[in-house]
Structure 1
Amino acid sequence: MKRKEKAEGRPNHERWLITYADLITLLLIFFVVMYSISMVDAKKFEQVAASLMSALTGRGPEILDYPGPSIIEGMSGEQLQMETIRQQLQEYIDQNNLGSNIQLYQQERGLVISLSDTVLFESGRAELTPQAQDIMRKVGVSLAPINNYIRIEGHTDNLPINNAQFPSNWELSAMRATNVLRFLVREAGLNPARLSESGYGEYRPIADNNSEAGRALNRRVDIVIMKSEHAVVEPH
Protein backbone atom coordinates (compact mmCIF):
# COMPACT_ATOMS: atom_id res chain seq x y z
CA MET A 1 0.00 0.00 0.00
CA LYS A 2 1.44 3.30 -1.07
CA ARG A 3 2.05 5.92 1.58
CA LYS A 4 0.37 9.20 1.01
CA GLU A 5 2.70 11.87 -0.15
CA LYS A 6 3.31 14.49 2.50
CA ALA A 7 1.15 17.45 1.80
CA GLU A 8 3.03 20.56 0.97
CA GLY A 9 2.88 23.19 3.70
CA ARG A 10 0.97 26.35 3.14
CA PRO A 11 3.19 29.22 1.98
CA ASN A 12 3.96 31.80 4.69
CA HIS A 13 3.20 35.21 3.25
CA GLU A 14 4.24 37.04 6.42
CA ARG A 15 7.95 36.15 6.47
CA TRP A 16 8.74 39.67 5.33
CA LEU A 17 7.61 40.91 8.73
CA ILE A 18 10.69 39.37 10.35
CA THR A 19 13.04 41.20 7.99
CA TYR A 20 11.03 44.37 8.40
CA ALA A 21 11.21 44.12 12.20
CA ASP A 22 14.98 43.63 12.04
CA LEU A 23 15.30 46.69 9.83
CA ILE A 24 13.24 48.80 12.21
CA THR A 25 15.36 47.63 15.16
CA LEU A 26 18.58 48.55 13.36
CA LEU A 27 17.19 51.96 12.48
CA LEU A 28 16.24 52.56 16.11
CA ILE A 29 19.76 51.64 17.27
CA PHE A 30 21.27 53.90 14.61
CA PHE A 31 19.27 56.93 15.70
CA VAL A 32 19.93 56.29 19.39
CA VAL A 33 23.68 56.26 18.69
CA MET A 34 23.49 59.38 16.54
CA TYR A 35 21.51 61.18 19.21
CA SER A 36 23.93 60.18 21.96
CA ILE A 37 27.00 61.58 20.18
CA SER A 38 25.57 64.92 19.15
CA MET A 39 23.37 67.67 20.47
CA VAL A 40 20.48 67.38 18.07
CA ASP A 41 17.36 69.47 18.11
CA ALA A 42 14.54 67.11 19.09
CA LYS A 43 12.08 68.40 16.51
CA LYS A 44 14.58 68.09 13.68
CA PHE A 45 15.53 64.62 14.88
CA GLU A 46 11.92 63.46 14.68
CA GLN A 47 11.53 64.97 11.23
CA VAL A 48 14.66 63.26 9.93
CA ALA A 49 13.57 59.94 11.43
CA ALA A 50 10.12 60.24 9.86
CA SER A 51 11.57 61.19 6.50
CA LEU A 52 13.98 58.27 6.45
CA MET A 53 11.25 55.88 7.52
CA SER A 54 9.03 57.15 4.73
CA ALA A 55 11.79 56.62 2.19
CA LEU A 56 12.37 53.04 3.34
CA THR A 57 8.73 52.01 3.58
CA GLY A 58 7.48 53.86 0.53
CA ARG A 59 4.86 55.74 2.48
CA GLY A 60 4.85 59.50 2.53
CA PRO A 61 7.43 61.98 1.25
CA GLU A 62 10.99 60.80 0.83
CA ILE A 63 12.73 64.10 1.41
CA LEU A 64 12.94 66.47 4.32
CA ASP A 65 10.36 69.17 3.94
CA TYR A 66 11.35 71.45 6.82
CA PRO A 67 13.25 74.68 6.25
CA GLY A 68 16.38 75.57 8.12
CA PRO A 69 19.99 74.48 8.51
CA SER A 70 21.34 70.96 8.29
CA ILE A 71 20.98 68.58 11.21
CA ILE A 72 24.78 68.41 11.50
CA GLU A 73 24.95 72.15 12.09
CA GLY A 74 25.69 71.71 15.79
CA MET A 75 28.45 69.15 15.26
CA SER A 76 31.29 71.69 15.32
CA GLY A 77 34.88 70.52 15.52
CA GLU A 78 35.80 73.30 17.95
CA GLN A 79 35.48 71.20 21.09
CA LEU A 80 37.47 68.41 19.47
CA GLN A 81 40.22 70.86 18.50
CA MET A 82 40.47 72.25 22.02
CA GLU A 83 40.56 68.77 23.52
CA THR A 84 43.34 67.82 21.09
CA ILE A 85 45.34 70.87 22.17
CA ARG A 86 44.76 70.04 25.82
CA GLN A 87 45.93 66.45 25.37
CA GLN A 88 49.04 67.48 23.41
CA LEU A 89 50.07 70.03 26.02
CA GLN A 90 49.24 67.75 28.95
CA GLU A 91 51.49 65.08 27.47
CA TYR A 92 54.28 67.64 27.10
CA ILE A 93 53.74 68.83 30.69
CA ASP A 94 53.88 65.29 32.05
CA GLN A 95 56.97 64.36 30.05
CA ASN A 96 58.86 67.44 31.26
CA ASN A 97 57.64 67.44 34.88
CA LEU A 98 56.00 70.84 34.50
CA GLY A 99 52.78 70.00 36.30
CA SER A 100 53.47 72.45 39.14
CA ASN A 101 54.14 75.30 36.71
CA ILE A 102 51.62 74.88 33.89
CA GLN A 103 47.92 74.30 34.44
CA LEU A 104 45.26 73.55 31.83
CA TYR A 105 41.60 74.13 32.59
CA GLN A 106 38.32 75.06 30.96
CA GLN A 107 36.45 78.29 31.56
CA GLU A 108 33.13 79.40 30.14
CA ARG A 109 35.04 81.51 27.63
CA GLY A 110 37.43 78.76 26.51
CA LEU A 111 40.56 76.71 27.27
CA VAL A 112 43.12 78.36 29.58
CA ILE A 113 46.85 77.59 29.53
CA SER A 114 48.12 79.10 32.78
CA LEU A 115 51.90 79.41 33.11
CA SER A 116 53.69 80.30 36.32
CA ASP A 117 56.12 83.20 36.06
CA THR A 118 58.92 80.97 37.38
CA VAL A 119 59.08 79.01 34.10
CA LEU A 120 58.87 82.15 31.96
CA PHE A 121 60.78 85.03 33.54
CA GLU A 122 63.41 85.98 36.05
CA SER A 123 62.11 87.83 39.08
CA GLY A 124 61.00 91.36 38.25
CA ARG A 125 61.83 90.97 34.55
CA ALA A 126 59.77 90.49 31.39
CA GLU A 127 62.20 88.80 28.98
CA LEU A 128 61.45 85.15 28.21
CA THR A 129 64.09 82.78 29.55
CA PRO A 130 65.52 80.00 27.31
CA GLN A 131 63.27 77.48 29.08
CA ALA A 132 60.28 79.74 28.46
CA GLN A 133 61.11 79.94 24.77
CA ASP A 134 61.14 76.14 24.51
CA ILE A 135 57.75 75.99 26.21
CA MET A 136 56.32 78.71 23.98
CA ARG A 137 57.49 76.89 20.86
CA LYS A 138 55.53 73.82 21.95
CA VAL A 139 52.49 75.93 22.77
CA GLY A 140 52.77 77.65 19.39
CA VAL A 141 52.87 74.33 17.53
CA SER A 142 49.68 73.25 19.31
CA LEU A 143 47.90 76.54 18.62
CA ALA A 144 48.92 76.86 14.97
CA PRO A 145 46.15 74.69 13.42
CA ILE A 146 43.23 76.57 14.98
CA ASN A 147 41.62 79.86 13.99
CA ASN A 148 40.20 80.81 17.38
CA TYR A 149 40.78 84.20 18.93
CA ILE A 150 43.54 84.00 21.56
CA ARG A 151 44.06 86.31 24.53
CA ILE A 152 47.33 86.54 26.45
CA GLU A 153 46.90 87.92 29.95
CA GLY A 154 49.66 88.95 32.35
CA HIS A 155 49.18 88.87 36.13
CA THR A 156 51.35 89.69 39.14
CA ASP A 157 51.13 89.45 42.91
CA ASN A 158 50.46 92.51 45.06
CA LEU A 159 54.06 93.25 46.03
CA PRO A 160 54.86 96.67 44.58
CA ILE A 161 57.52 97.21 41.96
CA ASN A 162 58.89 100.64 41.14
CA ASN A 163 61.86 101.08 38.86
CA ALA A 164 62.77 102.92 35.68
CA GLN A 165 61.41 100.13 33.46
CA PHE A 166 58.29 99.19 35.42
CA PRO A 167 56.72 101.97 37.49
CA SER A 168 54.05 99.52 38.70
CA ASN A 169 52.73 95.98 38.31
CA TRP A 170 50.52 97.20 35.47
CA GLU A 171 53.54 97.74 33.25
CA LEU A 172 55.26 94.52 34.32
CA SER A 173 52.21 92.34 33.65
CA ALA A 174 51.50 94.04 30.32
CA MET A 175 55.10 93.71 29.09
CA ARG A 176 55.23 90.04 30.04
CA ALA A 177 52.04 89.36 28.09
CA THR A 178 53.33 91.38 25.15
CA ASN A 179 56.60 89.45 25.01
CA VAL A 180 54.73 86.14 25.00
CA LEU A 181 52.52 87.41 22.16
CA ARG A 182 55.50 88.63 20.13
CA PHE A 183 57.27 85.31 20.52
CA LEU A 184 54.23 83.33 19.36
CA VAL A 185 53.92 85.55 16.30
CA ARG A 186 57.62 85.68 15.47
CA GLU A 187 58.68 82.11 16.29
CA ALA A 188 55.47 80.08 15.97
CA GLY A 189 53.99 82.01 13.06
CA LEU A 190 50.61 82.63 14.67
CA ASN A 191 48.39 85.15 12.94
CA PRO A 192 48.68 88.44 14.89
CA ALA A 193 45.17 89.41 13.82
CA ARG A 194 43.72 86.79 16.17
CA LEU A 195 45.95 87.58 19.15
CA SER A 196 45.66 90.23 21.84
CA GLU A 197 47.26 90.90 25.19
CA SER A 198 46.29 92.51 28.48
CA GLY A 199 48.10 93.32 31.69
CA TYR A 200 46.00 93.09 34.84
CA GLY A 201 48.68 93.73 37.45
CA GLU A 202 47.67 92.34 40.84
CA TYR A 203 43.96 92.95 40.34
CA ARG A 204 42.79 89.51 39.20
CA PRO A 205 44.30 87.15 41.77
CA ILE A 206 43.40 83.47 41.91
CA ALA A 207 44.86 82.95 45.40
CA ASP A 208 45.45 84.81 48.65
CA ASN A 209 48.30 87.31 48.40
CA ASN A 210 48.95 87.05 52.14
CA SER A 211 51.18 83.99 51.68
CA GLU A 212 54.16 83.29 49.45
CA ALA A 213 52.39 80.24 48.02
CA GLY A 214 49.39 82.36 47.11
CA ARG A 215 51.51 85.11 45.58
CA ALA A 216 53.36 82.51 43.49
CA LEU A 217 50.06 81.31 42.04
CA ASN A 218 49.04 84.86 41.18
CA ARG A 219 52.24 85.59 39.23
CA ARG A 220 51.30 84.02 35.93
CA VAL A 221 50.57 84.43 32.24
CA ASP A 222 47.29 82.98 30.98
CA ILE A 223 46.86 82.05 27.33
CA VAL A 224 43.13 81.80 26.67
CA ILE A 225 41.84 80.04 23.55
CA MET A 226 38.48 81.71 23.16
CA LYS A 227 35.38 79.83 22.10
CA SER A 228 33.98 81.11 18.82
CA GLU A 229 30.98 82.76 20.49
CA HIS A 230 33.39 84.95 22.48
CA ALA A 231 35.55 85.97 19.53
CA VAL A 232 34.00 89.45 19.36
CA VAL A 233 32.29 90.02 22.69
CA GLU A 234 34.02 88.60 25.74
CA PRO A 235 32.34 87.87 29.07
CA HIS A 236 33.14 90.12 32.00
Structure 2
Amino acid sequence: MRRHKTQDGHPPGQERWLVTYSDLITLLMIFFIVMYSMSQVDANKFRAMAQSLSITLGGAAPSAVNLSETQAGDSFIESGSTESSTSTGQDDQQGVEQETTPSEGTGQGDTDYQESLTIEGIKAKLDQFAKENGIENKLVSSIEERGLVISIQDTLLFNSGSAEISTNSRAILKKISTVLSASPNYIKVEGHTCNLPIHTAEFRSNWELSVLRATNVVHILVDDGEIDPLRLSAAGYGEYRPIADNSTEQGRITNRRVDLIILRSKYDLLEPGSSSSNTTTGADSNGNSSN
Protein backbone atom coordinates (compact mmCIF):
# COMPACT_ATOMS: atom_id res chain seq x y z
CA MET A 1 0.00 0.00 0.00
CA ARG A 2 1.35 3.38 -0.98
CA ARG A 3 1.87 6.00 1.80
CA HIS A 4 -0.19 9.15 1.68
CA LYS A 5 1.64 12.39 1.20
CA THR A 6 0.67 15.91 2.14
CA GLN A 7 -0.01 18.55 -0.44
CA ASP A 8 3.59 19.83 -0.31
CA GLY A 9 4.96 16.38 -0.90
CA HIS A 10 6.34 15.66 2.63
CA PRO A 11 5.11 12.75 4.77
CA PRO A 12 2.98 13.86 7.83
CA GLY A 13 4.90 14.44 11.13
CA GLN A 14 8.30 14.86 9.51
CA GLU A 15 8.94 18.27 11.24
CA ARG A 16 7.78 17.35 14.75
CA TRP A 17 11.41 17.28 15.90
CA LEU A 18 11.41 21.07 15.65
CA VAL A 19 8.95 21.25 18.56
CA THR A 20 11.22 19.14 20.77
CA TYR A 21 14.27 21.12 19.68
CA SER A 22 12.66 24.48 20.51
CA ASP A 23 11.62 23.18 23.95
CA LEU A 24 15.18 22.05 24.60
CA ILE A 25 16.62 25.43 23.61
CA THR A 26 14.11 27.21 25.89
CA LEU A 27 15.03 25.00 28.84
CA LEU A 28 18.73 25.63 28.27
CA MET A 29 18.15 29.37 28.19
CA ILE A 30 16.21 29.23 31.48
CA PHE A 31 18.93 27.08 33.02
CA PHE A 32 21.68 29.57 32.18
CA ILE A 33 19.57 32.50 33.40
CA VAL A 34 19.08 30.77 36.76
CA MET A 35 22.79 29.96 37.01
CA TYR A 36 23.68 33.57 36.26
CA SER A 37 21.29 34.94 38.86
CA MET A 38 22.68 32.55 41.49
CA SER A 39 26.19 33.81 40.79
CA GLN A 40 25.10 37.39 41.56
CA VAL A 41 23.90 36.86 45.17
CA ASP A 42 24.33 39.97 47.34
CA ALA A 43 25.99 38.81 50.57
CA ASN A 44 24.52 41.68 52.62
CA LYS A 45 20.99 41.05 51.38
CA PHE A 46 21.38 37.34 52.01
CA ARG A 47 22.55 37.99 55.59
CA ALA A 48 19.66 40.42 56.17
CA MET A 49 17.19 37.84 54.85
CA ALA A 50 18.62 35.19 57.19
CA GLN A 51 18.29 37.52 60.18
CA SER A 52 14.73 38.44 59.19
CA LEU A 53 13.80 34.74 59.04
CA SER A 54 15.37 34.27 62.46
CA ILE A 55 13.14 37.02 63.88
CA THR A 56 10.03 35.59 62.21
CA LEU A 57 10.71 32.10 63.56
CA GLY A 58 10.89 33.39 67.14
CA GLY A 59 14.51 34.35 67.54
CA ALA A 60 16.40 37.60 67.32
CA ALA A 61 19.01 39.02 65.01
CA PRO A 62 21.97 36.64 65.50
CA SER A 63 24.63 39.28 65.01
CA ALA A 64 22.84 42.01 66.92
CA VAL A 65 21.17 40.48 69.94
CA ASN A 66 21.62 37.14 71.68
CA LEU A 67 18.74 36.40 74.04
CA SER A 68 17.99 33.03 75.56
CA GLU A 69 15.44 31.49 77.84
CA THR A 70 15.45 28.94 80.61
CA GLN A 71 13.01 26.09 80.99
CA ALA A 72 9.30 26.64 81.45
CA GLY A 73 8.45 28.69 84.49
CA ASP A 74 9.46 32.21 85.33
CA SER A 75 11.18 32.59 81.93
CA PHE A 76 14.31 34.37 83.05
CA ILE A 77 15.68 36.23 80.07
CA GLU A 78 19.42 36.45 79.63
CA SER A 79 21.70 38.21 77.21
CA GLY A 80 25.33 38.11 76.22
CA SER A 81 27.63 35.19 75.52
CA THR A 82 27.42 31.82 77.26
CA GLU A 83 30.18 29.76 78.82
CA SER A 84 30.40 27.63 75.69
CA SER A 85 31.06 30.69 73.57
CA THR A 86 33.84 31.87 75.87
CA SER A 87 35.49 28.47 75.70
CA THR A 88 35.86 28.50 71.92
CA GLY A 89 39.25 29.04 70.36
CA GLN A 90 40.75 32.28 69.17
CA ASP A 91 40.16 31.33 65.53
CA ASP A 92 36.42 30.84 66.09
CA GLN A 93 36.19 34.20 67.86
CA GLN A 94 37.93 35.94 64.97
CA GLY A 95 35.55 34.24 62.55
CA VAL A 96 32.52 35.53 64.44
CA GLU A 97 33.96 39.03 64.56
CA GLN A 98 34.53 39.01 60.83
CA GLU A 99 31.00 37.77 60.23
CA THR A 100 29.37 40.44 62.39
CA THR A 101 31.51 43.30 61.08
CA PRO A 102 29.69 45.28 58.37
CA SER A 103 31.30 44.74 55.00
CA GLU A 104 32.76 47.53 52.95
CA GLY A 105 30.22 49.55 51.07
CA THR A 106 27.46 49.24 53.65
CA GLY A 107 25.83 52.57 54.47
CA GLN A 108 23.60 54.10 57.08
CA GLY A 109 20.65 52.19 55.66
CA ASP A 110 22.24 48.86 56.59
CA THR A 111 22.99 50.16 60.10
CA ASP A 112 19.39 51.27 60.55
CA TYR A 113 18.16 47.90 59.33
CA GLN A 114 20.39 46.02 61.77
CA GLU A 115 19.16 48.27 64.58
CA SER A 116 15.55 47.60 63.59
CA LEU A 117 16.21 43.86 63.78
CA THR A 118 17.63 44.31 67.29
CA ILE A 119 14.62 46.35 68.40
CA GLU A 120 12.23 43.77 66.96
CA GLY A 121 14.12 40.99 68.74
CA ILE A 122 13.91 42.81 72.10
CA LYS A 123 10.20 43.46 71.58
CA ALA A 124 9.57 39.79 70.78
CA LYS A 125 11.29 38.67 74.00
CA LEU A 126 9.43 41.21 76.14
CA ASP A 127 6.08 40.24 74.61
CA GLN A 128 6.84 36.58 75.26
CA PHE A 129 7.85 37.32 78.86
CA ALA A 130 4.64 39.32 79.46
CA LYS A 131 2.49 36.54 78.00
CA GLU A 132 4.17 33.78 80.02
CA ASN A 133 3.68 35.73 83.25
CA GLY A 134 0.12 36.89 82.52
CA ILE A 135 0.95 40.60 82.47
CA GLU A 136 0.49 41.33 78.76
CA ASN A 137 -2.13 43.98 79.63
CA LYS A 138 0.24 45.72 82.06
CA LEU A 139 3.48 45.38 80.10
CA VAL A 140 2.98 46.58 76.53
CA SER A 141 5.69 47.30 73.97
CA SER A 142 5.36 49.14 70.69
CA ILE A 143 7.76 50.32 67.99
CA GLU A 144 7.58 54.04 67.22
CA GLU A 145 9.66 56.49 65.22
CA ARG A 146 11.89 57.31 68.19
CA GLY A 147 12.44 53.64 69.05
CA LEU A 148 10.97 50.85 71.18
CA VAL A 149 8.49 52.07 73.82
CA ILE A 150 7.85 49.74 76.78
CA SER A 151 4.85 50.91 78.81
CA ILE A 152 4.54 49.50 82.33
CA GLN A 153 1.27 50.14 84.13
CA ASP A 154 1.78 51.77 87.51
CA THR A 155 -0.09 49.03 89.38
CA LEU A 156 2.58 46.56 88.27
CA LEU A 157 5.25 48.59 90.08
CA PHE A 158 3.71 50.88 92.69
CA ASN A 159 0.89 51.20 95.16
CA SER A 160 -1.59 53.99 94.59
CA GLY A 161 -0.01 57.40 95.23
CA SER A 162 3.36 55.82 96.06
CA ALA A 163 6.72 55.77 94.31
CA GLU A 164 8.18 52.83 96.27
CA ILE A 165 8.88 49.73 94.16
CA SER A 166 7.91 46.41 95.74
CA THR A 167 10.17 43.35 95.86
CA ASN A 168 8.20 41.51 93.16
CA SER A 169 8.34 44.59 90.96
CA ARG A 170 12.11 44.75 91.36
CA ALA A 171 12.32 41.18 90.02
CA ILE A 172 10.24 42.12 86.97
CA LEU A 173 12.38 45.18 86.25
CA LYS A 174 15.54 43.12 86.61
CA LYS A 175 14.32 40.65 83.99
CA ILE A 176 13.36 43.52 81.68
CA SER A 177 16.76 45.15 82.15
CA THR A 178 18.46 41.90 81.18
CA VAL A 179 16.79 42.14 77.79
CA LEU A 180 17.55 45.85 77.44
CA SER A 181 21.23 45.28 78.14
CA ALA A 182 21.48 43.52 74.76
CA SER A 183 21.33 46.93 73.05
CA PRO A 184 23.88 49.75 73.50
CA ASN A 185 21.29 52.46 72.77
CA TYR A 186 20.28 55.22 75.15
CA ILE A 187 17.27 54.50 77.38
CA LYS A 188 14.83 57.15 78.56
CA VAL A 189 12.61 56.42 81.56
CA GLU A 190 9.47 58.57 81.64
CA GLY A 191 6.96 58.77 84.47
CA HIS A 192 3.31 59.58 83.74
CA THR A 193 0.17 60.01 85.85
CA CYS A 194 -3.52 60.59 85.23
CA ASN A 195 -5.18 63.96 85.82
CA LEU A 196 -6.46 63.17 89.32
CA PRO A 197 -4.75 65.73 91.58
CA ILE A 198 -2.45 64.68 94.41
CA HIS A 199 -1.28 66.85 97.28
CA THR A 200 0.39 65.03 100.15
CA ALA A 201 3.26 65.64 102.50
CA GLU A 202 5.53 63.72 100.12
CA PHE A 203 4.22 64.91 96.76
CA ARG A 204 3.14 68.44 96.08
CA SER A 205 1.72 67.50 92.66
CA ASN A 206 1.74 64.81 90.00
CA TRP A 207 5.00 66.29 88.71
CA GLU A 208 6.91 65.12 91.77
CA LEU A 209 5.21 61.72 91.78
CA SER A 210 6.00 61.02 88.12
CA VAL A 211 9.61 62.18 88.43
CA LEU A 212 10.33 60.11 91.54
CA ARG A 213 8.75 57.01 90.02
CA ALA A 214 10.94 57.36 86.92
CA THR A 215 14.02 57.95 89.06
CA ASN A 216 13.35 54.89 91.21
CA VAL A 217 13.02 52.73 88.10
CA VAL A 218 16.37 54.08 86.87
CA HIS A 219 17.99 53.06 90.17
CA ILE A 220 16.67 49.50 89.76
CA LEU A 221 17.99 49.29 86.20
CA VAL A 222 21.42 50.40 87.38
CA ASP A 223 21.67 48.56 90.71
CA ASP A 224 19.88 45.29 89.89
CA GLY A 225 20.00 45.24 86.10
CA GLU A 226 23.59 46.53 85.86
CA ILE A 227 22.81 48.83 82.93
CA ASP A 228 25.42 51.52 82.38
CA PRO A 229 24.04 54.71 83.98
CA LEU A 230 25.50 56.70 81.08
CA ARG A 231 22.78 55.18 78.91
CA LEU A 232 19.93 56.22 81.21
CA SER A 233 17.92 59.37 81.83
CA ALA A 234 14.74 60.03 83.83
CA ALA A 235 11.88 62.45 83.22
CA GLY A 236 8.47 63.12 84.73
CA TYR A 237 5.56 64.47 82.71
CA GLY A 238 2.81 64.37 85.31
CA GLU A 239 -0.62 64.20 83.66
CA TYR A 240 0.41 66.25 80.62
CA ARG A 241 1.33 63.47 78.18
CA PRO A 242 -1.78 61.23 78.20
CA ILE A 243 -2.24 58.41 75.70
CA ALA A 244 -5.90 57.76 76.64
CA ASP A 245 -8.98 59.71 77.68
CA ASN A 246 -8.69 60.86 81.30
CA SER A 247 -12.48 61.22 81.54
CA THR A 248 -12.87 57.43 81.94
CA GLU A 249 -11.49 55.13 84.62
CA GLN A 250 -9.89 52.82 82.05
CA GLY A 251 -8.27 55.80 80.36
CA ARG A 252 -6.80 57.01 83.66
CA ILE A 253 -5.43 53.51 84.35
CA THR A 254 -3.75 53.51 80.96
CA ASN A 255 -2.23 56.94 81.52
CA ARG A 256 -0.70 56.01 84.88
CA ARG A 257 2.45 54.35 83.56
CA VAL A 258 6.23 54.34 83.33
CA ASP A 259 7.64 54.26 79.79
CA LEU A 260 11.05 52.85 78.94
CA ILE A 261 12.19 54.06 75.51
CA ILE A 262 15.06 52.41 73.65
CA LEU A 263 16.07 55.35 71.48
CA ARG A 264 17.24 54.79 67.92
CA SER A 265 20.88 55.70 67.47
CA LYS A 266 20.02 58.55 65.09
CA TYR A 267 18.82 60.47 68.16
CA ASP A 268 22.21 60.17 69.91
CA LEU A 269 23.03 63.64 68.67
CA LEU A 270 20.33 65.04 70.96
CA GLU A 271 21.75 63.37 74.06
CA PRO A 272 24.14 65.61 76.04
CA GLY A 273 27.51 64.05 76.66
CA SER A 274 27.24 61.54 73.81
CA SER A 275 30.16 61.11 71.44
CA SER A 276 28.04 62.47 68.59
CA SER A 277 27.11 65.64 70.44
CA ASN A 278 30.72 66.16 71.57
CA THR A 279 31.90 65.90 67.99
CA THR A 280 29.27 68.38 66.84
CA THR A 281 30.02 70.98 69.52
CA GLY A 282 33.78 70.54 69.20
CA ALA A 283 34.33 69.29 72.75
CA ASP A 284 37.75 67.95 73.61
CA SER A 285 38.53 64.75 75.55
CA ASN A 286 38.02 66.59 78.85
CA GLY A 287 34.54 67.68 77.86
CA ASN A 288 35.58 71.34 77.29
CA SER A 289 34.13 73.04 74.27
CA SER A 290 36.51 74.53 71.75
CA ASN A 291 34.00 77.21 70.72
TM-score normalised to structure 1 length: 0.73
Structure 1: segments with no counterpart, 5+ residues: 1-16, 39-68
1:75 Cα offset (Å) = 2.3
Match of 1:58?
Answer: none
CA distance in 2, matches of 1:22, 1:223: 48
For 1:38-77, list aligned pairs within 5 A: 70-73=104-107, 74-76=109-111, 77=114
Which residue of 229, 236, 241 maps to 1:192?
229
Structure 1 residues 163 and 70, CA, compared in 2 at 3 Å: closer, same or farther? Answer: same
Could you report, residue by residue, the CA deviation over 1:78-112 in whole angstroms, capped at 9, with x for unpaired residues?
12221121111111101001011111101110000
CA distance in 1, matches of 2:216, 2:159: 13
Amino acid corresponding to residue 222 of structure 2 in structure 1: V
Query: Aligned residue pairs: how many?
Result: 187
CA distance in 2, matches of 1:120, 1:81: 26
CA distance in 2, matches of 1:21, 1:159: 69
CA distance in 2, matches of 1:206, 1:70: 43
TM-score normalised to structure 2 length: 0.60
Amino acid corresponding to residue 132 of structure 2 in structure 1: Q
Could you report, residue by residue, the CA deviation over 1:86-144 in whole angstroms, capped at 9, with x for unpaired residues?
11111110100101111110111000000000101000000111221111011110011
CA distance in 2, matches of 1:113, 1:72: 30
SS at match of 2:201: coil
Amino acid corresponding to residue 203 of structure 2 in structure 1: F
Cα RMSD, aligned residues only: 2.5
SS at match of 2:204: coil
Structure 2: segments with no counterpart, 5+ residues: 1-27, 50-102, 272-291
1:31 Cα offset (Å) = 4.6
Structure 1 residues 21 and 160, CA, compared in 2 at 3 Å: closer, same or farther? Answer: closer
Match of 1:105?
Answer: 142
CA distance in 1, matches of 2:238, 2:104: 46
1:72 Cα offset (Å) = 2.4
CA distance in 2, matches of 1:89, 1:31: 32
1:36 Cα offset (Å) = 11
Q: Does 1:175 align with 2:212?
A: yes
CA distance in 2, matches of 1:81, 1:36: 14
SS at match of 2:270: coil
Match of 2:39?
Answer: 27
SS at match of 2:134: coil
Q: Percent identity?
A: 42
SS at match of 1:231: helix
1:71 Cα offset (Å) = 2.8
Bigger relative CO (Cα 8 Å, ≥ 6 apart):
1
Match of 2:255?
Answer: 218
CA distance in 2, matches of 1:72, 1:160: 52
CA distance in 2, matches of 1:138, 1:33: 33
SS at match of 2:160: coil
